[in-house]
Amino acid sequence: MSFTDLGLSAPIQKAIAEKGYTDPSPIQAQAIPAVLAGKDVMAAAQTGTGKTAGFTLPILEILSKGDKVRANQARTLIVTPTRELAAQIAENVEMYGKHLPLKSTVVFGGVKINPQMTRLRQGVDILVATPGRLLDLYNQNAIRFNQLEILVLDEADRMLDMGFLRDIKKILSLLPKNRQNLLFSATFCPDIRELAKGLVNNPVEISVSPKNTTAETVEQLIYSVDKNKKAPLLTHLIKTHDWQQVIVFMKTKHGANKLTKQLDASGISAAAIHGNKSQGARTKALANFKDGTISVLVATDIAARGIDIDQLPQVVNFELPNVPEDYVHRIGRTGRAGASGHAVSLVCGDEIDLLNDVEHVIQTHIPREIVEGFEPVHALPASRKLRALKAKKPKKFKTDKPEHKDGQRSGDNARGHKPTGKNRRHTGNSSSSNPYANSPGKPSGNSGGGRRINPSPAK
């Protein structure tokens, strides 16, 4: 099957050909016809398999035949968890739709809101947004959804992990009921299925690979090394193998900054990208990495699903993630679109539990090596035997409490949430539960409202 068999118009096929693509990936081959047919879709595919084009291409086709968008309206809304991923999707929309008379824009936090409001005044056919900034713009009357035809939730599992459930529910409440819903994700965990119950209607389910599997084109390797030797070993590997472009993943922002300074001191050009960096700094670091100005990008997991770089050859896990599923998304930055890639993890003895969790999730033992001169003093224990994966139960999401208008506090907040334990002094302020409160109709003996302290007798 080729893209010409999917019913896409000539302008879109021209843009695809200009990128050098001829055959759709499995997720694209299944998703594009379903979206064009107007059906709701739930699609899961591992990172790097072309999910973005799987919904971008058919949406462009549908919108090219519809009504003109009105001021401050959007015909399609694509919601993503991170700024980097939003920017990546917006680039794809612009690239594939450049021969169509459609308007699109991207909005996210960390930058001034006024330019975004200006772009929305004329209306846009496709709006790519992060949840927080989207709600800010709605509250300022910069965007309305009367013309909305299609809603896309991309990387929905990541949005739940990042605590966006309440924002998602709020956004859904603002949208018209009659719309097409597309839910794309790297994984289909039980929590996603729970969310989907109130989102999609009789969806076409697409899953082109088992959940939490790594791409076959990615060669994985573990270097066993002591924790205090990780930075020198990384420097050695970069210089010895002449790695020109590598992403290094860290667990903390402080660790990313520290490693960046160590690499710079060793003569290796590097930049850090994480949540504490301004949007301008993050965008600049990513641009410098893509054009080769810097060779190492040190990132926290906030960037794990938002970085899309063609032919990225190398990914390094300086530290294994606390959430084993994040390992899949980290190494998914390499080996994309059928290209080969390498994923290296520097693992010390203290990380054996994290390694066991990762190998359990991907259901394979990762090969190990020791680099001469960096032999660990504390050996990395052998991995445990693989166990079969068990289905997880979906989380029970908390029901949002009714909000108070005008900043009023609830009664519980005003009382400081005093417990109702056995200690009667701590059971609230009512006279029925507080033996030291005034009885009804009996004024206190002093102006303070408490018990009166008898004065000392006169001598």
The number of domains in the chain is 2
- Residues 12, 98: Cα–Cα separation, whole Å: 8
Residue 108 in domain: yes
Instruction: Mark which of 369, 394, 427 sits at the end of a domain.
Output: 369
Instruction: Output the pTM of the full model.
Output: 0.67
Residue 127 pairs with which residues in a beta bridge?
A: 77, 105
Q: Write out pLDDT tens, residues 40-87.
A: 999 887 666 788 899 999 999 999 998 999 999 999 999 998 888 899
Residue 132 in domain: yes
Count of CB atoms within 10 A of residue 140's CB? 11
Q: What is the CATH number of the domain that holds 230?
A: 3.40.50.300
- The predicted model gives 414-441 an average pLDDT of 48
Q: Write out pLDDT tens, residues 101-138.
A: 999 999 999 899 999 999 999 999 999 999 999 999 99
Question: What pLDDT shows up at residue 295?
Answer: 92
Q: Are residues 110 and 238 in the same domain?
A: no
Question: What pLDDT shows up at residue 358?
Answer: 92
Which amino acid is it at 172?
L
Residue 296 pairs with which residues in a beta bridge?
A: 246, 270
Q: Are residues 335 and 365 in the same domain?
A: yes
Q: Are residues 180 and 222 in the same domain?
A: no
Q: Are residues 137 and 223 in the same domain?
A: no
3-state secondary structure of 291: coil
Q: Are residues 173 and 243 in the same domain?
A: no
Question: What pLDDT shows up at residue 393?
Answer: 57
Domain of 72? Answer: 3-207
Q: Are residues 60 and 174 in the same domain?
A: yes
Count of CB atoms within 10 A of residue 360's CB? 18
Widest Cα–Cα separation across the chain: 108
Q: Are residues 290 and 314 in the same domain?
A: yes
Count of CB atoms within 10 A of residue 244's CB? 11
Question: What pLDDT shows up at residue 311?
Answer: 66
Which strands, in side-by-side order, build the sheet including 124-129?
104-107, 124-129, 74-79, 150-154, 180-185, 41-44, 204-207
- The predicted model gives 8-16 an average pLDDT of 94
Q: Are residues 46 and 161 in the same domain?
A: yes
Instruction: Mark which of 369, 386, 410 sits at the end of a domain.
Output: 369
Instruction: Work out the percent of the chain whose per-residue pLDDT is above 90.
Output: 52
- Residues 307, 48: Cα–Cα separation, whole Å: 10
What is the DSSP annotation of 344-404? Answer: EEEE-GGGHHHHHHHHHHHTSPPPEE--TT---SSPPPPPPPP----PPPPP-PPPPPPPP
Residue 446 in domain: no
End-to-end distance of the chain based on CA atoms, in angstroms? 108
Q: Say if CB 277 and CB 297 are below 8 A apart.
A: no
Residue 353 in domain: yes
Question: What pLDDT shows up at residue 444?
Answer: 46
Residue pointed to by tokens 């959007």: 74
Whether the predicted pLDDT of 432 surpasses 50: no
Whether the predicted pLDDT of 177 surpasses 80: yes
Residue 12 in domain: yes
Residue 171 in domain: yes
User: Whole-number mean pLDDT of the chain?
Assistant: 83
Residue 445 in domain: no
Q: Are residues 169 and 248 in the same domain?
A: no
Q: Are residues 174 and 304 in the same domain?
A: no
Question: Comparing 186-195, 217-226, 413-422, which segment has the lowest mean pLDDT?
Answer: 413-422
Whether the predicted pLDDT of 354 surpasses 70: yes
Q: Are residues 118 and 40 in the same domain?
A: yes
Q: Are residues 38 and 71 in the same domain?
A: yes
Backbone angles phi, psi at 42, to 5 degrees: -115, 115
Instruction: Mark which of 207, 237, 255 sits at the end of a domain.
Output: 207
Residue 386 in domain: no
- Residues 199, 109: Cα–Cα separation, whole Å: 25
